[in-house]
Amino acid sequence: MRWLRHVFSPSAHARFPAASLDRIARAIAEGERRHGAQLMFAVESDLPLAALWRGVSPRERAEHAFALLRTWDTRDNNGVLLYLLLADHAVEIVADRGLHGRIDAARWRQVCEDFGRRQREGDLEAAVLAAIATLSEMLAEHFPADPDAPRDNELPDRPRLLG
């Protein structure tokens, strides 16, 4: 059944038109004004056939995207990737080592569960925006913005459509 979902998955471009990507980018930029971490959103329609054959999980694919997009490449090791795999209706959060021990795994899971609930309600963009707002609040607790420091936007705010 998973094969069919991936073969017939709608494209990320269809699910996230340009206006939606603009709103998500603005939400990321607005959130990053409140914290010193770096947040990225990436969405992938489906997995390549080779990855399906190997049984790659959404988590493994999110970790691969984290590396591919260089989310780890921040001065304070505080990059966070919000990853969505449309075909599996799966959302994952991958956080860099600077966040380990600061934010409990249960809080990350709760963001993913809330995202899934909103996604099932039918408004995918609203699910993304709510997750970004929650993640921004969490990151502000541990990496508050320094009003005297220049804002160094190390990672792009624009969502990345993979595949």
pLDDT in tens, 123-156: 999 999 999 999 999 999 988 988 777 677 889 9
**CATH classification of the domain holding 136:** 3.10.310.50
Distance (Å, rounded) from C-alpha 74 to C-alpha 109?
23
Specify the number of domains making up the chain: 1
Show the domain range for 118: 2-146+153-162
pLDDT in tens, 11-62: 888 899 999 999 999 999 999 999 999 999 999 999 988 999 999 999 999 9
Contact 88, 5 (CB under 8 A): yes
pLDDT in tens, 66-114: 999 999 989 889 999 999 999 999 999 999 999 988 999 999 999 999 9
